[in-house]
Structure 1
Amino acid sequence: MKFLIFAFFGGVHLLSLCSGKAIYKNGISKRTFEEIKEEIASYGDVAKAIINLAVYGKAQNRSYERLALLVDTVGPRLSGSKNLEKAIQIMYQNLQQDGLENVHLEPVRIPHWERGEESAVMLEPRIHKIAILGLGSSIGTPPEGITAEVLVVTSFDELQRRASEARGKIVVYNQPYINYSRTVQYRTQGAVEAAKVGALASLIRSVASFSIYSPHTGIQEYQDGVPRIPTACITVEDAEMMSRMASRGIRIVIQLKMGAKTYPDTDSFNTVAEITGSKYPEQVVLVSGHLDSWDVGQGAMDDGGGAFISWEALSLIKDLGLRPKRTLRLVLWTAEEQGGVGAFQYYQLHKVNISNYSLVMESDTGTFLPTGLQFTGSEKARAVMEEVMSLLQPLNVTQVLSHGEGTDINFWIKAGVPGTSAYLPSREGSYHKRCGKTIPQGCSNQNGMLLVQKQTHRPMEQVREASNKATHIQPSDLWQSQQ
């Protein structure tokens, strides 16, 4: 809910400050801050109406029902797969049926990689099957696999110090988890650094703060001029075990088999829908999430949840009969997991109109309890944001923190457009990019917009009439065109 109200008030009415000019390069309106505060406060009743509709009214559980139906029906949506394109066509039809405006598809050429069969077995000092998930864009092994001794390191620096030991071996990274942004470099660059010192393959400890013997996947990057070697993630438990063995001087031998293949790029689409602005329709507030996922799990958290709460933002505003002054645009990205391919294409096509973008927003940080927003913009714009977030006091979601970012919106932020992402100090890293990417139990109503477990709240006594009149779409209604 926090994200939805912010999309409407923070983006549409406030960040562009009703001046008739979108903020670009972190500009600011000539209106006084007191005038802006007064306008923000005047939206209090509308904020309550949106809260009531989403949390207590007829739209309760709608995001969950929509999301569950998609992921249960389509399943994982890997870049280049038929499942992804099926999901895009379903969403295109659903957005039209939802009564949104200017629904269309924008073509993108995207990578097509498939993991194939994969396995890893420790042969020495004992037989032990190792759980692995190959990393996106990795090459495969020869059909007979790669059998080699293991070198365990905890950092790139250690790998460089022990470079003479790495040739002809499988490098296992057991890097400590600091945070995602600092630790993910081992997943993205681990194969390249291992190949530079002559390794045959690399296995990386999953980038996670928590593990129940669950390897994670994700994208990795090769470098021109460096040999390409197979690479995969292993569990925290196996990385720690091999590190202990190595510290005792025990020889470790692994047989690795990976059937991964990269195929020619294929056609896909970004999916777009809008509520057209009433006064400044050329100016845009963008909300987004990505439809693609990895091929393990359902992709419900990464990023089905983010995509569907972004859709819900427009649905709630439409259901309440609200018309923003600026165009509210939903973009459901394709091929985010391959490095923001769809978002980069969108930026290239639309950056000519960058001065008309008031705000870009992305939800791709999980479906746990939000406490506020992360925001990138000027100090004056941040002060406005803090006033906006005060409207969400009934939900106790009022924080405004620094460093709003996201793979799909960073192009715009770096060019000077204010950007936001949800702040969820949560277990998201425990679930992202692994086989169990369903929505975990216990997440009910924590996002406010994505009511993950079905709830049966008693409506508040003062639910606004508009909330009661809003249409509640049943799951069976969403897919009529697919029957």
Structure 2
Amino acid sequence: MKKLLLTLAITSLSFINQVSAQEFSEQQIKQTAEIRNNALNSSLAYDILTSLTTEIGPRLPGSENDPLAVKWAQDKFNELGFDKVWLEPATFPAWRRYSESGMILAPSKQPLHLTALGGSISTPKQGISADIIYFETLDELIASPKNSAEGKIVFINYKMNRHIDGNGYGPAVKARSTGAVEAAKKGALAFMMRSVSTAHHRFAHTGGSHYQDGIKKIPTVAIANPDADQISRLVSLKKPVKVNINVQAENLGEGKTFNVIGQFNGTQNPDQYVLIGGHLDSWDLGTGALDDGAGVALTMAAAKYIADVKRPKRSIRVVLFAAEELGLWGAKAYAKKHKNDKHNIVAAAESDFGAGFIYGFQSSVDAKSLPVVRAIAKQLSPLNIKHIRANKSSNGPDLIPLRKLGGLAGFSLHTDGNDYFDYHHTADDTLDKVDPVKLQQNSAAYAVFAFMAADAKTTIKGK
């Protein structure tokens, strides 16, 4: 029996190698190896990231740095020698943070480290002072009696779990998205939540929040996790806990910005392209090094590594999406503009999960494309990247609008996110949190994937 299984395994491996040989010549495999090795020995991705975070810094859509970032990206694409560089417009709801502060007033005065959530309205100039009403989860708030929070500040203390794939983010972010709406329904004066974060440091994590037509708008903030723990302990003493939160912010109406796009043209089918990229904008607290300067830098560099060795049959397009943090506005604009030629995207992957080592490679393609996927996975294995064979990858947030159109050949290069949410959306998202060696591995992986997808004999297709 063991001998039979061994024979079957050898036969299967031989078949896979034969299929790979049909897709890629020996010369193409050598070129792939050269691209991979060049990326592993280059500082280009880190140099690009250093330039973005140093020369531009935070890039909140609608801020003064937003057009500077657009100009920086155009210039960087041209400097790297991309064949085509262009802008595509996007609109978004502009919002500006001016100041924020917090204080525990009772049972004793203690500073409260908080930040306004994106889109929050302002408090009165003196802030809002009120007792809190404590909930562990958003569902608990929703299930509470009508007017249960009348005249109070709702506080949700949901703790996010830590995991390599960041699977705790979805459950935790629900409160950030709709907490202010649900709190207002119960009569609350304001909404306050534990940061969507795995960190122990005393930084509050911002992020997008939403209001609902017909529901009163109330200020909405997140507090640092140690402060959330402190309030939890105070609540356990069975005494009223009173806080003051002060947020000064402004909604500025419709803003205008741009997706910035660079492309190396293919030699045989230039209209077809592999799409890689990240989002150019960031929150205003840090310099957006992990979210998503790393994705911007490593995909720009990956395309350059490819072009320096060989121009593939199909084009390599790097899209730096606009206004992702405020609701995927650049991604929506891109999908709308390209809905009639979406069939030209032969493969797509976005880097928007920091710059930890990539550990897994996963596809979402039709069955006829799987031999190409396996061939790519084989060339990613020297980077310690495993092939995740479940053919249903998620592809990155800015690809969601394209995915909704149907037929997208999407790929995920899974990044180790164990510590990503320690820094996510905070003042601590800065260049020093990026390991240059890990960034090199990321860029090498994207370069191998993009080159092989663009140069394969078979045109990859989505499901």
TM class, shorter-length: 0.7 to 0.9
- Check the 8 A contact 2:287/2:431 in 1, yes or no: no
What residue number does 2:114 align with? 132
Deviation for aligned residue 1:449? 4.6
Matched, 1:221 2:216: no
The one-letter amino acid of 2:39's match is A
1:430 maps to which of 422, 428, 432: 422
- Check the 8 A contact 2:105/2:243 in 1, yes or no: yes
- Check the 8 A contact 2:358/2:413 in 1, yes or no: yes
- Check the 8 A contact 2:383/2:441 in 1, yes or no: no
The one-letter amino acid of 1:98's match is L
Q: TM-score, normalised by structure 2?
A: 0.86
1:408 maps to which of 394, 398, 403: 398
Matched, 1:143 2:135: no
Q: CA RMSD in A?
A: 2.0
Q: TM-score, normalised by structure 1?
A: 0.82
In structure 2, distance between residues paired with 1:356 and 1:283: 4
In structure 2, distance between residues paired with 1:240 and 1:381: 50
Question: In percent, how many aligned pairs have the same letter?
Answer: 34
2:30 maps to which of 14, 23, 45: 45
What residue number does 1:70 align with? 52
Matched, 1:420 2:420: no
Secondary structure at the aligned position of 1:353 is classed as: helix
1:195–1:34 CA distance, 2 compared to 1 (3 A): farther
Please give the per-residue CA displacement for 1:353-394, whole angstroms capped at 9, x wherever unaligned. Answer: 122221221100011111122433345545542331111222
Deviation for aligned residue 1:212? 0.9
- Check the 8 A contact 1:305/1:450 in 2, yes or no: no
In structure 2, distance between residues paired with 1:156 and 1:383: 45
Please list every run of 5 or more consecutive structure 1 residues that lacks an aligned counterpart in the other structure: 1-31, 452-483
Deviation for aligned residue 1:233? 0.8
Larger displacement relative to structure 2 (221-230 or 107-116)? 107-116
The one-letter amino acid of 1:376's match is S
Deviation for aligned residue 1:442? 7.1
Deviation for aligned residue 1:162? 3.3
Matched, 1:195 2:184: yes
In structure 1, distance between residues paired with 2:342 and 2:353: 25
Secondary structure at the aligned position of 2:381 is classed as: helix
Matched, 1:241 2:230: yes
- Check the 8 A contact 2:57/2:287 in 1, yes or no: yes
**Which structure is higher in RCO with an 8 Å CA cutoff and minimum separation 6?**
1
Q: What number of residue pairs does the alignment pair up? A: 417
- Check the 8 A contact 1:40/1:388 in 2, yes or no: no
The one-letter amino acid of 1:417's match is L
1:55–1:124 CA distance, 2 compared to 1 (3 A): same
Please give the per-residue CA displacement for 1:255-294, whole angstroms capped at 9, x wherever unaligned. Answer: 1110011112222111111111111112121111111100
What residue number does 1:112 align with? 94
Please list every run of 5 or more consecutive structure 2 residues that lacks an aligned counterpart in the other structure: 1-15, 162-167, 444-463
- Check the 8 A contact 1:61/1:450 in 2, yes or no: no
In structure 2, distance between residues paired with 1:190 and 1:245: 22
What residue number does 1:55 align with? 40
- Check the 8 A contact 1:78/1:295 in 2, yes or no: yes
1:97–1:160 CA distance, 2 compared to 1 (3 A): closer
The one-letter amino acid of 1:177's match is M
